[in-house]
Structure 1
């Protein structure tokens, strides 16, 4: 009976093959792990993909500005708007909303309508008289980051209606009411008087820098 013996060369060769197989398996495992993580990152079914399909911005018009922004007032108002049903209690039908509206109002002087006689200069060019229109108030510009619904109470019918429509309610009425109240507050404030004073100071400094020693700034409604 013949017994085969494994030679040292065959043992060494077998070990080398085993190490090659082990190294190949390790490389394959690493590739599978890395590829799996990349695939999960790219094809994550639970992830969210944001695609911006907005159209390019179109320039509709350009308007030359010929006015001086003389002052800005910052205002804040709390709008308390309540809507009740005629024959139903508030718990069934009705809303009450507290809305904080914050924004600014610009006061400006329009120079576009000034005529050729708006500026009068003395013969020796040392004195100048300027007549300007009074300042006006721009429409309030509400700051969305500082305007918000502070509290809201809604009846059962209103809650059901909002749930079926999928909308918590239109807030445009609140914004319009806040703009109206801010406009009234700006009219009652000294914002326009401050703008008139700033405009006088600006024109006086401008003309004196041009060499005039005496500058008189009047508004068109002054004698």
Structure 2
């Protein structure tokens, strides 16, 4: 003889209600956590927000270019700049900064500087002669992503001054000194000679593609 047990009719609804309550509490907890984080993000007194209130970019001028960028040199220099006080030790007053300056220098030939009659063509248009000015150097264009202060030593008074001013110091002198040294290196290099050769090759190829069989490209200081 077997005995069967049956669940009272009100037990199943109570279980369903408990599961609903548990699910409701779980959803409420998640909402409280997410809402709390959002509220802390908005109300955190130590938080930061970045707002770009820059004005529109103004076009100040347009300049027509009539030159050929013939070569670019990439340079890097380590600037070692030291400033000492006359009667105080370096630990008290003085700075020494190692600055890595990196950038490029463009060499170009200015076609607008060509003299009248710089291009001559023979009667049957098979020969052409072009006389050009020599290549010039642009001012260095330092790359801010690759230019940086590598190391710096400062005296006690300099550190106090920087702390009071809230600024680590003006780096314009370092950039200007790096530009000066890179300019000197570019002048001493063969960058301009390379630009002259590239310009001559470019014009020779272009004129021959136009049907000239004999092309002579000379610079104004050449016979």
TM range (shorter): 0.7 to 0.9
User: Are residues 1:12 and 2:5 paired?
Assistant: no
**Match in the other structure for 1:3:** none
- Relative distance call for 1:42 and 1:63 in structure 2 (3 A) is farther
Moved more, 163-172 or 40-49: 40-49
User: Are residues 1:31 and 2:27 paired?
Assistant: yes
**Match in the other structure for 1:5:** none
Segments of 4+ moved more than 6 angstroms: none
Q: How far is 1:38 from its partner?
A: 2.9
- Relative distance call for 1:60 and 1:12 in structure 2 (3 A) is farther
Q: Matched residues in 2 for 1:98 and 1:84: separation?
A: 15
Q: How far is 1:60 from its partner?
A: 3.2
Q: How far is 1:160 from its partner?
A: 0.7
Q: Matched residues in 2 for 1:34 and 1:58: separation?
A: 49
Q: Matched residues in 2 for 1:116 and 1:21: separation?
A: 99
The within-5 A match list for 1:154-169 is 154-169=154-169
* Cα shift readout 1:144-183 (whole Å, capped 9, x = no counterpart): 1221112111111001111111211111100100000100
**Match in the other structure for 1:174:** 174
Question: Structure 1 stretches of 5 or more lacking a match?
Answer: 1-7
**Match in the other structure for 1:139:** 139
Q: Matched residues in 2 for 1:221 and 1:33: separation?
A: 85
Q: How far is 1:116 from its partner?
A: 4.7
Across the two proteins, how many residue pairs are aligned to each other? 214
**Match in the other structure for 1:81:** 81
Moved more, 57-66 or 148-157: 57-66
In the superposition, the TM-score normalised over structure 2's length comes to 0.87
User: Are residues 1:212 and 2:212 paired?
Assistant: yes
Q: How far is 1:32 from its partner?
A: 1.5
Question: Structure 2 stretches of 5 or more lacking a match?
Answer: 1-5
SS at match of 1:12: coil
User: Are residues 1:109 and 2:109 paired?
Assistant: yes
The CA RMSD measured in Å over matched residues stands at 2.1
* Cα shift readout 1:165-216 (whole Å, capped 9, x = no counterpart): 1211111100100000100111111110110111001110110010001101
SS at match of 1:144: coil
**Match in the other structure for 2:3:** none
**Match in the other structure for 2:196:** 196
SS at match of 2:201: helix
SS at match of 2:117: helix
